[in-house]
Amino acid sequence: MGFLARASALFIGASRFQSYHEAIQVEAPRQAVLLAAQREIRNALREAARKLPYESRFWQGRFSTASASARPSVVPKFKTQGSFDYELLVDPSHLPPQQIDLDDGVYFNVEYLDSGQPALVARALFDFVEEALTPLCELRGWTIPEKDCCVRIQIRPDAHIDLPIYSAPEVVHISLADTAGDSVLAKSHTQRFQRLPADKILLAYRDGRWAQSDPLRLKDWVEGCVQRYGADFRRVCRYLKGWRDHRWPKTSLSSITLMVAVDTALDQLNGAHRTLSNDHLLYEVTQRLPAILRGDLLNPVFPGQRVVLNAWSVEDREAILGGADELAGDLHAALKGTLDATLVVQALQRAFGKRLPFRPDAVEIIPSIAATVASERPAKVASPSVDPSTSG
């Protein structure tokens, strides 16, 4: 059956009321709080980095016993990454415990040892970042909860900045922009820049490990999706993130898993997404989502490796797949299951919450389809007359 209703105005493009697309945006003043904190954090780390050559605890290998003058100076550089950088930031539904966040990669350009390890000690870099930021945090009333793969600065109960710590070989020139939102990490330029070798970008862990991790690969992958699918990719990702946050205050369903699922669904549509309105495209994606989530979704940052994103526990899998099934059912009920505009909005609000506006007047019932459905309804037939009888 074709679509009975159009509800695109509820999601985007309405001029007379706030659409869902607008409702899940993070307001500029709240983003500004994160950006102001980011600037202060960066300045504090740059200033503190001057002491790195003078303390042996930060160094390993031959540099651990070298004199301060024999150790290289280290100037941290920074790159905004994650949803803030990909233009996929969504205002969570439950604030707190959910939070808005900004991921700001901290890069140290140092010499690597013969073992392939950076000359800097991974665990000690966590100490360095936390010690450098403690005075600022005390001044601003921020806290530093312990995280394994980054340093987290809790700015407010509903906002934090994560600082993953990376190392890159000293021989590779790094050019990182100081402005949040600037997408330049390493530019291809004949003389000045060269692309960072992905297998040499290492992420520090609090337990002392260095592990391969190149965030630029994920940025490139997102941009590739936008090139293939246009703005539809970002819009559908935002809507599904909004659905997830509304349904579960806390869940194992990560943003990257949803992004890969959207890519898979749009790929299955084979270009047909270009002909669909915003709401009908979301319908097509949600109908495919349960089956996509039941299969293995691989991390696109590690091509050739089976890094499964949805390797959830049995309990989490049951909850997430059940939620995806209900989402598909709500979208079907809204857009193909009724001729009543009020019921359309009610079904959509079940999925996305009250941030989707209750505006039945903005729902369009598709006339030709409605007429067909009405003509196919069976005529009411009077009940046959039955003589009363008694059993003997």
pLDDT digits 0-9 by tens, 210-243: 998 888 889 999 999 999 999 999 999 999 999 9
Residue 159 exposed, middle or buried by CB count within 10 Å (0-12, 13-18, 19+):
buried
Query: What gap in Å lies between CA 42 and CA 47, rounded to an integer?
Result: 9
| Token code pair at residue 369 | 């389809």
C-alpha 74, offset from chain centre: 31
Reduced to 3 states (helix: H, G, I; strand: E, B; else coil), residue 106 is strand
Query: What gap in Å lies between CA 243 and CA 286, rounded to an integer?
Result: 11
Could you state, in order of their start, the residue ranges of all structural domains in the chain?
5-19+241-373, 26-213
Chain segment 325-382, per-residue pLDDT in tens: 999 999 999 999 999 999 999 999 999 999 999 999 999 999 866 556 555 554 444 4
Provide the pLDDT for residue 97: 93
Query: What gap in Å lies between CA 255 and CA 246, rounded to an integer?
Result: 14
Angle between helices 255-269 and 278-294 (to 10 degrees): 110
Provide the pLDDT for residue 371: 55
From the list 136, 187, 186, 127, the residue with the least C-alpha distance to 161 is 136
Provide the pLDDT for residue 326: 98
Query: What is the CATH T-level fold of the domain 26-213, as seen in this structure?
Result: Beta Polymerase; domain 2 (3.30.460)
Provide the pLDDT for residue 373: 57
Exposure string for 259-295, b = 16+ CB within 10 A, e = fewer: bbbbbbbbeebeeebeebbbbbbbbbbbbbbbebbee
Helix (H) or strand (E) holding 345: helix 341-352
Provide the pLDDT for residue 189: 30
Question: Count H helices, E strands: the chain?
Answer: 12, 9
Query: What gap in Å lies between CA 9 and CA 11, rounded to an integer?
Result: 5
Contact 331, 337 (CB under 8 A): no
Phi and psi based region of residue 61 (left: phi greater than 0; alpha: psi -120 to 50; beta: remaining): left
Q: Which residues pair with 202 in a beta bridge?
A: 167, 212
Query: What gap in Å lies between CA 132 and CA 51, rounded to an integer?
Result: 10
Query: What gap in Å lies between CA 316 and CA 294, rounded to an integer?
Result: 12
Chain segment 284-341, per-residue pLDDT in tens: 999 999 999 999 999 998 877 889 999 999 999 999 999 999 999 999 999 999 999 9
Residue 162, pLDDT > 70, answer yes
Instruction: Give mean pLDDT, residues 126-142.
Output: 98
Non-local (6+) Cβ contacts of 98 within 8 A are 92, 158, 245, 249, 250
